[in-house]
């Protein structure tokens, strides 16, 4: 934006010293959006938000805050994320990411 | 909407007495998943399909009726029994075709060959816990159209007949249809 304006004014200056600017930017508002740096924020296995405890941990009446903290998120090399509980059950029978079918290997774990 | 969790929250006595009496009993993950999936399945049902729950309290057992509107099996009434095992969604639903038919991917005994219903597959085409009931219904209905596959048959005789004489194959399909799949 700034460049274009400058180009115009320079050219105008060269051609005609008293040429009016096409427009002047007086005010602008920056808008930002954010999202988690993962493909999706819902665990595709149990369909609960990865940042919440998984369906199994919720069902097993882990009412205690610290118990729920145990249910961590796991990211694969493919950048897909699941609950660690959900994924460890699945890889027992098929060591692939259920979303992209790539060989599953853990990139990181945590919250 | 009435949910189990909401009901338990409203009535703490129920949840307390339950957990005290049978502390080891796990809440079924399958049943929790099926509440959403059964609803989604019914909302996205293909035009050719009808679902009947034999017992409205058992979401894990139902009958699927497919009436294909094109292809060799057009107009036939094909019933499938679908059972969702306790270990769902780590393992796929079990499907049995209740209607006798002449089809390369469904045996006369009712076994169904559909990639997403395979529990153990090395090619990545088999079951995955990301799949849902609606995918199974769409897969089964597509066996009569897009997913019809003569190259890897369960009913070899049917596939062989097709490769030898397509007209005769069509006639045999219709014979079965008239005899077993009129209603």
Q: How confident is the model at residue A39 (pLDDT cuts 50, 70, 90)?
A: low
Query: Is there a contact between B48 and B69 (Cβ–Cβ < 8 Å)?
Result: yes
Domain architecture of chain B: domains with CATH: 45-181 (3.10.110.10)
pLDDT tens digits, A52-108: 889 988 887 655 555 556 789 999 999 899 999 999 999 998 999 999 889 999 999
Q: Is B89 in Cβ contact with A61 (below 8 Å)?
A: no
Determine the average pLDDT of the residues in B84-110. Answer: 95
Q: How confident is the model at residue B8 (pLDDT cuts 50, 70, 90)?
A: low
Q: Using CB atoms and an 8 Å cut-off, which of residues 55-84 of chain A contact chain B?
A: 55-56, 59-61
| B16/A contact by beta carbon, under 8 A | no
Is B113 considered catalytic here? yes
pLDDT at A3: 46
Q: How confident is the model at residue A37 (pLDDT cuts 50, 70, 90)?
A: low
Residue A67: both structure tokens together: 């118990």
pLDDT at A4: 45
pLDDT above 70 coverage of chain B, percent: 85
Query: Is there a contact between A79 and A94 (Cβ–Cβ < 8 Å)?
Result: no
pLDDT tens digits, A72-86: 999 999 989 999 999
β-strands A81-83, B94-97: how paired?
unpaired
Distance CA A52, CA B4 (A): 19
């Amino acid at each position: 934006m700034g460049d274009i304006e400058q180009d115009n004014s320079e050219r105008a200056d060269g051609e005609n010293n008293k040429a009016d600017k096409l427009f002047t930017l007086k005010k602008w508002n920056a808008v930002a959006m954010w999202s988690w740096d993962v493909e999706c924020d819902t665990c595709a296995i149990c369909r609960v938000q990865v940042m919440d405890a998984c369906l199994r941990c919720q069902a097993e009446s882990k009412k205690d805050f610290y118990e729920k903290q145990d249910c961590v998120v796991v990211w694969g090399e493919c950048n897909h994320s699941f609950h660690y509980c959900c994924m460890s059950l699945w890889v027992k029978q098929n060591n692939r990411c259920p979303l992209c079918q790539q060989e599953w290997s853990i990139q990181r774990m945590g919250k | 909407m009435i949910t189990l969790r909401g009901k338990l929250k409203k009535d703490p006595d129920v949840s307390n007495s339950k957990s005290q009496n049978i502390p080891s009993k796990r809440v079924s993950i399958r049943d929790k998943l099926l509440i959403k999936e059964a609803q989604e399945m019914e909302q996205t049902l293909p035009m050719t399909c009808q679902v009947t729950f034999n017992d409205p309290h058992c979401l894990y057992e139902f009958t699927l009726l497919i009436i294909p509107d094109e292809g060799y099996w057009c107009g036939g009434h094909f019933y499938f029994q679908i059972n969702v095992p306790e270990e769902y969604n780590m393992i796929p639903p079990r499907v049995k075709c209740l209607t006798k038919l002449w089809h390369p991917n469904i045996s006369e005994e009712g076994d169904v060959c559909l990639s997403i219903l395979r529990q153990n597959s090395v090619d990545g085409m088999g079951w995955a816990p990301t799949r849902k009931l609606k995918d199974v219904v769409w897969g089964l209905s597509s066996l009569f159209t897009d997913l019809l596959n003569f190259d890897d048959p369960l009913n070899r005789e049917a596939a062989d007949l097709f490769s030898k004489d397509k007209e005769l194959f069509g006639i045999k399909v219709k014979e079965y249809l008239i005899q077993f799949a009129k209603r």
